Structure formats: structure tokens, C-alpha cells
Amino acid sequence: MKGHVVVTGGAGFIGSHVVQQLLEKGHTVKVIDDLSAGRKSNLPPDVELSVKDVRAISSDDIAGAGVVIHCAAQVSTFKSVDYPEEDFSRNAEGTFRVLETLRKHNPKALFIYTSSRSVHGDIPAPHVADENWPYNPSTFYNVHKIYGEMLCKIYSQLYGINYVILRPSNVYGPRQPYWAGGWYNFCLPGSSPVVSNPGIKTIESLKIGDLVLTHRGRYRPVTKVFKRRYVGELIQIKTMYYWEPLSVTPEHPVLAIRCPKVFTDHWRRASIDFSAARWVMAKDLEDGDILLYPRPKLPHGQAPTHILLSDYMDIHVEAGKIYGYTRNQYVERCKGKEYHIPLKIPLNDSFIRIAALYLTEGCVGTNGKQIYIVLSEVERNTAEQLCQDIKNVFGLEPRIEVRQQNHAVNIYVNSAPLANLFTKLFGRKSSSKHLPDLFFSLPKDKLEMLIEWMVKGDGYIDLRNRSYIKYASVSKTLIYQLRDILLSLGLFPSIECRKIGGKAVIAGRPANLNDVYILSWYNHPIRRRLWISEEYVYLPIKWIRKSYYDGYVYNLEVEEDHSYVVGYHTLHNCAYWFQLAIEGKPLPIYGIGEQIRDYTYVVDTAKAYILAIENPDAWNQTFLLPTGIGTSLNQLAKKILEITGSKAGVEYYPPRKGDIQRFVGSYEKASKVLGWRPETMLDEGLRNEYEWIKRDLSKKGD
């Protein structure tokens, strides 16, 4: 029969293939999908798509439908173990909402329910399960699928709704959602500080194309940003040397070294293999383990010799002339005098000193036409050096004002162009201070000079304590930038935050008090030398806690490296087996790898839905959709490694709770009643999936 069909979860893995075959059969289709695992590109552009959670389904969504196919679900058995409430809401409650809406508004529609072979649990050898094999749930996912099956039968008995229950086996093939493996793949609260270029950005503010630091110490562009609602547990991990705990969902991979033995003197650790770093799920970490942060590989010495004014000012320059102004000079008129800025500003020692003191002690006036730098009266020599540097670099005459009441020396420079330039290069006020991109490619001696003069402005040196240095700023971005510069120079700073907040009256005016961020390091490292190498900084875990979270969480896909850095910690973005193999990374196997699965190709699986619609004899019955062939995880991994040509092998992890050890099923009933049988062998289907995922990974965005 031809007609109007509604498919929940129709933009997802199985659902989109069902939609494709429905369209080929001449049906009209409406899709309901929240796009948490599905995506629009899985659907033809002319298919009606309602982006909403299936739990919010309404009468309008199913109006006129002859068939409702329910594919929307949380599909991970393991995630249901940690988050049964979330699994119940998405799976059991979602199915109830669809059936209840049908009962009230369209009870004549056929309801096709996507259950799972996992409701049968373990099938001991040499048995092969059929539809009559007893329920044997091992996770909440299985229980909630059984609940859905019971709902189908009760709604049929009480209200006459026709149904078909399909139990797909392990489905694989093109459109497998490697980019969104359930809610675990969306792993960080929106406020998490991602190390980007320049400085830091909250993960919720990042966009496709932004550069982020990866575990290889280099910056790579974000190719996708994922967001979804999450209710459940977060793991909080506090390390030494960094003030803010890392908060992630339990199964997010973190770059770490397992180190079970912790000594009272945390500076000494025995038998640590610093080469044994690997990706460890957050929930498996313990106190005393070590997290890794990559030392940024900055392009030292590749900076230009001059700053071009035209790169930062809205002016027209041609053949060395600025049109509309005095030749070869940008001119600002102020109080009857002319102040000039050169077209090319040298990145010499004088400019570095000016930049350092402006970043620490300077700001732009409220009128936007003046910069001023405030030093203490004991820094008179520094003030005179600064004035001379401003004359040398900009040809401007600063004004010095000594305020004995405040024990301060104020240096003023009246120049709107200079104020505009400094705002764009370094920020206008203390909380917005930052380093321009080009500073990260300065030669090492220039960066060392920058740090030296910034410490003179807002730092503290304890020469009695092995050259212990502290630098404070209210700009979080500036602190993170300086942290990465210090690491590139081989120095290992810690970061702490002093929470201040509130309001105060400063110089007779109300002002907000900002939190203060403090960098601390040894200029000649002694005690920290064990915790930094050429590639990484090592951060011992102080404590691990758990917290409840209800809100949006985020994850990133990052080009090539598939990792990013949050705060002082390195995270992976949960890659899928084929993706890992393509990247030459080991495939993770939980347990010994002898678990047996029955893999069914997604196109074959989708055909069963079409046959169920067309055959009334199948209504109010249940069908398994396996192949009758068992394949171990070790065998599957071997096939994937052979198909991709990867030499990375596998990594074994502890078994996961609720894992089914063996399932092999019979499709005899599906063959007799539906006329369905699997047609695609595993090797052929895996090659199809491999070709698809290669094409998909080559895209830079969706």
C-alpha cells in the first residue's frame, strides 16, 4: 500500500535508510528527529523534517499517517547502565508518547516498533535464538526495549492499534553515526575553556574553522561542533598546578598515564613510565594518575620584522602613501598639534618593552584618543626608558605626571591612532588584554624579553627561592597565552585563580572587581624538571569527584588530530572504529574480544520495514533480523584493520558492565512471513561502510 508514513529518528542511521526505501516505493514521508545522532544530510532535501524530541510528538505530527515507524532511541546498552533515568526517558517514555498520541489522534495507523536482539541477552553456544527465546535483559536498555514491546501488545489489546515489532541485530553500514555516538560523545559543559588561537574560548562559543590546540602541540581547525541536552553524572578531575577541575562525562577519553602508587612527597614517584601515555576514560582514572598537556610548538623566529599599520587600521595605502592624510604618515589632529604614527612599526626591543608595560600597566582612555601607563614612583627609571622607547618607535612625545599622593608615575600619550592600534593589538582595558597572533612567532629572545618586562610591570620575583616568579592579571586569555609561551620556552608554570568579584570604589568611581589569575614558575626549574618533557607537561591528579549535571554539553571534531585541550588537560573526541583505523590508531576492545555478535547490513535491515508495511500477515507479530552467523570482536577488528590497511592493532580495556557475551539469531520467521533474508555478507558490507566513511571524513563540514 502507498501512503503517508511518519518516521521518528528518520535522520539517523537505520531511519534514514528506511526513509530512502519508502520514497523509492512511492510513499510520502515525514521525519521527526532531534538531530542528536542523525543529521540533515542523511535525508533528501525535499523530505519534510520536524526537528524535535520524540517525547514532544503532537497530533499534527501524525495527522494523515497510515504508518508510524518508530526508530528514535538512545542506542547504547552501556550508556544505559550509567544513566538508566536518561535511557528510560528517551526510550521507554518516548515509545509511550508515540503510542499515546496514536491512541488519541490516529489509532488506525500501523505502528512499527524498533526493538533489539539484545532483549534476549546471552545465547549460550551452540544455540541460535529465535523470537520465542526468553527475555534475558542485562542492561536498562534491554529492559526499556522490552517495555516498548509490552506497550505495543497492550495498546493493541486495549485500543486495537496494529503493530509490528522488529528486533534488528548488530546493524552496520553507511551513515553509521561515528560523529555522535549517543550522549557520551557530547562531553563538556558549555563554559569549558578550550585552548584556541589566540588564547582560550569557551567550547560553546567555538565555530567551524576556529583553531584549537591538539595533543600533538599544534593548532588544527574545528570541523564540527556538537551540542545536545544531557542529564546525568560528570566526573570532576583536579590536578596539581592548575586551579580549575576538568569536568567531563564518564566515558570521555583523556590523555593520561596510569600510576597507581602515590607517595607522600608528590615530587617523587617511583616506576613511572612517561612513555606509557594513552587515552583513558575519565571514569577509569584514579588519584595519582597523571594527565598530559602538550607543549605548544610555536613557530619561533617566523614573525615579520615590522607591523604594517594598514593591517590594523582602516586606511588606504598605495605606493607607500596614505590617501586623505599627510604623505607617508597617518595624522591625527588633537589640541592644535599633529601626532604621527609610522606606516611600518618595527618589532624591535623598544616595541617589545612598550607592549609589555602596556599589557601590564596600561589602558586606553575613555575618550579613545589616549593611552596611559601607570608605574610606581620607584620605577622612575623604567618610566624614562618607556618614554624614550615611545619616541624612538612612534615619534611621539609622551607626558609624564608624578602623583606623589598615589606614589605613582603616569605616562600619557595623546594619539587617537595609537590608541586605536593598541586596542586592536592588545585590548583596551585590563580584563580584555591579550597578545596578538604575530607575537607567538617572535624569536625566543624577544619572547624572553617580553616576559621579563611584563614581570617588571605586574610580577614578583623571589630571588631567595630559586628564582620563583609570579605574574598576575585579571585577563584569563592573557594568562593562558603566557602559559603557552612559557611552556614553549621550556618553563612550566602553574595557574591559580583568586576569586574576588563584587564591587568597589576606585579613584572615586564605582568599579567591578575581577577575579585574578596568577602564573607561577621557576626561571631555572629545579623541582618541576621531572614534570616536563619535550612533548608534554605532566599533571598528577589530586582528587576525583562526581557531580550531577542538567544542561547542554558539547564536543568538537578537529581536523587530523581529533583531539583538543581544555584548561590544562587533553581530550579525545571519541572516534569510531573505522575512523580510528583510518587515522592509524588502535581499536579499543573491552574484555578479551571473544564476544560474539551477529552483524546485519543496514540496507538489508531497512528492507524489513518496507516488507512489514506491505504484508498484513506480519501485523501484530515480532521478528528477529539477524544473519545466523556469529563474529567475534577480535575477528571484526581484524577485518577492519585489513580493509583500511591499518597497522595500529587493538588495545584491550576492562570489560564493561552488562556486555552480552554471545548472540547468534535465526531469521527463519522473518523469511517465512515477511519474505526477508539478509543479502549482504559482512566483508562486502564493511567495505561499503569504509568507502562511505572515507568520503564523509573528507568533508570539512556538514
Q: Closest Cα partner for 140 from 181, 94, 197, 81?
A: 81
Are the CB atoms for 650 and 571 separated by under 8 Å?
no
- Which residue blocks in 137-198 are alpha helix, DSSP H? 140-159
Angle between helix axes 349-361 and 380-394 (nearest 10 degrees) is 120
For the chain, helix (H) and strand (E) counts, in that order, are 16, 41
C-alpha to C-alpha distance for 14 and 8, rounded to whole angstroms: 11
Query: Residues of 538-559 as b/e, b for ≥16 C-beta within 10 angstroms?
Result: bbbbbebeeeeeeeebbbbbbb
HSE on the CB side for 610, CA within 13 Å?
Answer: 22
Angle between helix axes 13-24 and 602-614 (nearest 10 degrees) is 50
The secondary element (H helix, E strand) that includes residue 641 is: helix 633-644
C-alpha to C-alpha distance for 281 and 273, rounded to whole angstroms: 19
DSSP secondary structure code for residue 665 in this structure: B
- Strands 200-202 vs 193-195: parallel, antiparallel or unpaired: antiparallel
Backbone angles phi, psi at 379, to 5 degrees: -100, 35
Q: Closest Cα partner for 50 from 6, 113, 106?
A: 6
What does the DSSP assignment read for 297-327?
A: ---TT-S-SEEEGGGTS---EETTEETTSST
Active site residue 412: no
- Strands 509-512 vs 503-506: parallel, antiparallel or unpaired: antiparallel
SS3 content of the chain, % helix, strand, coil (to 5): 30, 30, 40
DSSP secondary structure code for residue 671 in this structure: I
250: cell is 564518564
Which amino acid appears at position 602 of this protein?
V
Catalytic residue among 83, 113, 141, 564: 141
Burial class of 326 by CB neighbour count within 10 A (0 to 12, 13 to 18, 19+): exposed
C-alpha to C-alpha distance for 513 and 598, rounded to whole angstroms: 62
- Strands 468-473 vs 459-462: parallel, antiparallel or unpaired: antiparallel
Strands (E), 19-136: 28-33, 48-51, 67-70, 110-114
Q: Closest Cα partner for 667 from 611, 614, 585, 590?
A: 611
Instruction: Kindly list the catalytic residues.
Output: 141
